Amino acid sequence: MKTNAFAYVRAETVAEALRLHAEAGDDARYLAGGQSLMAALNFRLDEPSTLIDITRITTLRGIAMDGDMIRIGALTRHADVADDPVIAAELPLIHAAIGHVAHPAIRNRGTFGGSVALADPAAELPACVLALGGVMEIAHPGGTRHVAADDFFRGTYETALAPGELLTAVHIPRPAPGSQVGFAELARRLGDYAMAGLCLMIAPDRSDARVVFFSISDRPVRARAAEATLIAGATAAEVAARATDGIEVYGDLNAGTATKRHYASVLLRRELARLDQKKDHAA
Amino acid sequence: MTGTVTISLRLNGEAVTATLPARMPLVDFLRETMGLTGAHVGCAHGVCGACTVRVDGAAVRGCLMLAAQADGSVVDTIEGLTESGAIADLQDAFHRHNAVQCGYCAPGMLITAADLLDREAVPDRVPDRAEIRDHISGNYCRCTGYQAIVDAIAEVATTRADARATKQGDTA
């Protein structure tokens, strides 16, 4: 199928993008990498009046250390995240996840901010941002506001973004030295949507932990029961047994709810066991 | 604000200017406006990889990018890469290994394979079969079962690495 007919405009600055959106109204859409939006338009799942191409706003591209925070510009492409030395050194969770985000040709166009703003419940990057306690930087006509990941993801393709607001960057706190991270997903083909996925972030000495599953619910979800069990010092098997306690699990074409619960538990047990083994080798 | 756009780009080495509907995907522009039918439309949502072309040197999905977004870009299709001889060794290996049956996936598969081999273009680096399979995971082939495709890419990876090592040895 083909998209509906729409107007196409380019914004060179964030201010211009916001103004163009205000002029075009709520049926306008920002076009970033387009790797999900174009697919949705080709299927007529969405029929916007106007596409506002923001890909030429150069200030929204790039990754930088800012004190103890890492700023990932919204328009940074997945391929650039994969090759970035700051990400490799400081955010190994994202470094591990990025190779699972779609396929190489899609990573060459798709953007970090686009994936976060779309909030596909099966996507890796929103789950990473939630596990790392990231903060979204959002531009609106009145200025800039910040929303923590815990408050940002609201449901399937639903976020705290109001119509016309633009996600401009994601700020991620630099993990404390000695933190452990884990990433794992089950997919039928590398790069396909996961049937279940896991992001793990464990502070030194298990003083804090974030266990986030994706592709099992309507958004990336924190496994609060598993986190508490982990911090309490339980074994991998004990933590994994509580993997989906209190989480509303949704099935899809690939797997029903019981299967997803099972996958989530297996992923968590495997990753914790791997981290334990790694620690034993290091000791 | 308008439903048509005028774009200028470098297509297979030649300057092209065209006015087209804003909603036209890059692959439709290439096939229908420019008559370059090497890139195919399989799924139109980025899953099959048949429409893969090069934009500014990077492999991209022709179905998930508007032609309007290619304004100012360098676009290379399988036709241009064939004419320049840039992937002649890959095409020859695909032919010899019988890595093409119906041919629908071949242009996209070749561009994706070339992308991997260019990326690994350092003397001591030869992608193994698992890496090759990972890299072409976004390109469906419904005929060959992939074995012959991986054979062909692996062979070219080795011959190119050998050629680089020889060249390096000559200059050392």
Q: What was the pLDDT predicted at A12?
A: 97
Q: Which of the two residues, B148 and B167, has the higher pLDDT score?
A: B148
pLDDT greater than 60 at residue B172: no
The position carrying tokens 């405009």 is A9
Numbers of helices and strands, H then E, in chain B:
6, 5
* Residue B2: band (very low, low, confident or very high) from pLDDT cuts 50, 70, 90: low
Return the SS3 of B9: strand
Q: What was the pLDDT predicted at A1?
A: 73
Burial class (CB in 10 A: 0-12, 13-18, 19+), B123: middle
Q: What was the pLDDT predicted at A68?
A: 96
Please name the member of A6, A39, A103 whose beta carbon is closest to the beta carbon of B137: A103
Mean pLDDT, chain B, rounded, equals: 94
Are A81 and A111 spatial neighbours (Cβ–Cβ below 8 Å)? no
pTM: 0.95
Rg of chain A in Å (alpha carbons): 19
SS in 3 state form for chain A?
CCCCCCEEEECCCHHHHHHHHHHHCCCEEEECCCCCHHHHHHCCCCCCCEEEECCCCHHHCCEEEECCEEEEECCCEHHHHHHCHHHHHHCHHHHHHHCCCCCHHHHCCCEHHHHHHHCCCCCHHHHHHHHCCCEEEEEECCEEEEEEHHHHEEECCEECCCCCCEEEEEEEECCCCCCEEEEEEECCCCCCCCCEEEEEEECHHHCCEEEEEECCCCCCEECHHHHHHHHCCCCHHHHHHCCCCCCCCCCCCCCCHHHHHHHHHHHHHHHHHHHHHHHHHHC
pLDDT tens sequence for chain A (283 residues)? 789 999 999 999 999 999 999 999 999 999 999 999 999 999 999 999 999 999 999 999 999 999 999 999 999 999 999 999 999 999 999 999 999 999 999 999 999 999 999 999 999 999 999 999 999 999 999 999 999 999 999 999 999 999 999 999 999 999 999 999 999 999 988 888 899 999 999 999 999 999 999 999 999 999 999 999 999 999 999 999 999 999 999 999 889 999 999 999 999 999 999 998 887 776 5
Q: What was the pLDDT predicted at B165?
A: 83
- The two tokens of residue A269 are 């047990």
A75 contacts in B (CB within 8 Å)? none
Which among A21, A106, A107, A118 is the top mutation candidate for probing chain B, defined by the most B β-carbons within 10 Å of its own β-carbon? A106
Inform me whether the C-beta atom of residue B115 falls under 8 Å from chain A C-beta atoms.
yes
Q: What is the pLDDT of residues A175-200, one digit of tens each?
A: 999 999 999 999 988 888 899 999 99
Q: Do A189 and B137 touch (CB under 8 A)?
A: yes
Are A5 and B21 spatial neighbours (Cβ–Cβ below 8 Å)? yes
Inform me whether the C-beta atom of residue A67 falls under 8 Å from chain B C-beta atoms.
no
Q: What was the pLDDT predicted at A278?
A: 83
Query: What ipTM was reported for this prediction?
Result: 0.93
